[in-house]
Amino acid sequence: MAAIKTIGVLTSGGDAPGMNAAIRAVTRSAIYNGMKVKGIFRGYKGLIEDEIVDLETHDVSNIIHHGGTILKTARCKEFKTVEGRQRAYENIKKHGIDALIVIGGDGSLSGARQFASEFDFPVVGLPGTIDNDLSGTDHTIGYDTALNTIMWCVDRIRDTASSHERLFFIEVMGREAGFLALYGALAGGAEAAIIPEISTEVDQLAELIQNGFRESKNSAIVLVAESPVTGGAMDLAERVRKEFPQYDVRVTILGHLQRGGTPTAQDRILASRMGAAAIDALLEGQRNIMIGDDDERIIYVPLSKAIRKDKTIDREILEKLKHLSK
């Protein structure tokens, strides 16, 4: 592979705390190694529409502690078309970009893999998503911050739940993965988590009620992943009102609160290590991989594996949550 002199970096899909730390690490590591850096605004949309600028060291100063992404992000249907990807490739060549670093989740890395395959172009992905649902990595950038935000909210909702002796359903993000709901419930001392991974196996709500989850308590909190598989917090609350009218039930939907805020130390460190590792990988001749975290070791994961959607929930944690809620 020819020497890489200029890299492009973009953030795509949903924003995640720590993306700025990753942009900073990519930019400064690249410059340290004699490369030029091009920042691409608004993800694949900006790549197609030629929103590409030079990034220097000072452009990424004082951003490590900010949530969101200075490069902005956007969904892009056009990139899913052959014509859209061709326009993106023409702009890449126009700016002399030799390799692309994509920071995002499953959809973003799926697009990166397809682009890399079609144009035989070097791409390195960084796992930037609060859902923690990418395979081949223990943690994704933004997950720890979102988990801490959920814990902070659960702590405060418990005060009012206890005062009014109510059952609260708290809906968190995670359409296809229950990591935030499960570990948020464990960290927040919630009575249960309803997650998509087991919703097709058991009626989680019926099991919850039948097991007498309020035997020794005058209030309860249940975290629910927003997935249509679980039904979501609103549907579950309505079902409780009909089937178990003895419960005074309320719903809180955390929504985009989970994506914002100052990234935690863990997310800043993870993003910085992964951003620097992306440049190391390119210098080593790696391509079409995602940077992963395996027991705190940086690893290279083929993009095909990263987007496989086979990351599993630890069933033991689910059982421990049931034991600890009694």
DSSP string, 165-197: T-EEEEEES-SS--HHHHHHHHHHT-SEEE-HH
Q: Which pLDDT does position 213 carry in this prediction?
A: 55
Q: Which pLDDT does position 161 carry in this prediction?
A: 81
Q: Which pLDDT does position 120 carry in this prediction?
A: 96
3-class SS at 302?
strand
Q: What angle do CA 20, 112, 145 make, to 5 degrees?
A: 30
Q: Mind listing the pLDDT tens digit for each residue in 278-323?
A: 999 999 999 999 999 999 999 999 999 999 988 988 888 888 887 7
Q: Which range among 73-87, 189-203, 213-227, 296-310 shows the weakest confidence by mean pLDDT?
A: 213-227
Q: Which range among 93-107, 138-152, 257-271, 312-326 shows the weakest confidence by mean pLDDT?
A: 312-326
Distances (CA, A) of 200 to 195, 196, 208, 235, 241: 10, 8, 15, 16, 22
Q: Which pLDDT does position 163 carry in this prediction?
A: 81
The pLDDT > 70 percentage for the chain reads: 94
**Domains in the chain: ranges and CATH:** 6-142+263-306 (3.40.50.450), 144-259 (3.40.50.460)
Show the tokens assigned to 277: 């590792």
CB atoms < 10 A from the CB of 292, how many? 24
Q: Is 15 exposed, middle or buried (0-12, 13-18, 19+ CB in 10 A)?
A: buried
CB 130 within 8 A of CB 140: yes
Considering only CA atoms, which of 203, 195, 189 is closest in space to residue 174?
195
CB 224 within 8 A of CB 230: yes
Kind and range of the H or E run holding 220: strand 220-225
Show the tokens assigned to 270: 């993870």
CB 48 within 8 A of CB 90: no
Q: Which pLDDT does position 64 carry in this prediction?
A: 98
Select, from the ranges 187-191, 271-275, 317-321, the one with the highest average predicted confidence (pLDDT).
271-275
Q: What is the mean pLDDT of residues 180-185?
A: 96
User: What confidence category does residue 265 fall into, taking pLDDT thresholds of 50, 70 and 90?
Assistant: very high
Using CA atoms, how far apart are residues 266 and 160, in angstroms rounded to an integer? 30
CB atoms < 10 A from the CB of 118, how many? 12
Pairing of strands 289-294, 123-127: parallel
Using CA atoms, how far apart are residues 231 and 280, in angstroms rounded to an integer? 43
User: With 80 as the cut, is the pLDDT of residue 79 above it?
Assistant: yes
CB 157 within 8 A of CB 167: no
Show the tokens assigned to 130: 């609060």
Question: Looking at the annotation, which residues are catalytic?
Answer: 131
Q: Which range among 20-29, 33-42, 98-107, 189-198 shows the weakest confidence by mean pLDDT?
A: 189-198
Q: Which pLDDT does position 20 carry in this prediction?
A: 98
Kind and range of the H or E run holding 323: helix 315-324
User: What confidence category does residue 212 fall into, taking pLDDT thresholds of 50, 70 and 90?
Assistant: low
User: With 80 as the cut, is the pLDDT of residue 215 above it?
Assistant: no
User: What confidence category does residue 164 fall into, taking pLDDT thresholds of 50, 70 and 90?
Assistant: confident
Considering only CA atoms, which of 92, 318, 101 is closest in space to residue 193?
318
Q: Which pLDDT does position 313 carry in this prediction?
A: 87
CA 275, 276, 280, 282: dihedral to nearest 10 degrees? Answer: 30
Q: Which pLDDT does position 217 carry in this prediction?
A: 57
Q: What is the mean pLDDT of residues 257-271?
A: 97
Q: Which pLDDT does position 201 carry in this prediction?
A: 59
| R_g (Cα) of the chain, nearest Å | 21
Look up residue 297 and give its DSSP letter: E
CB 124 within 8 A of CB 287: yes
Q: Strands (DSSP E) along 226-268, which ranges?
A: 249-253
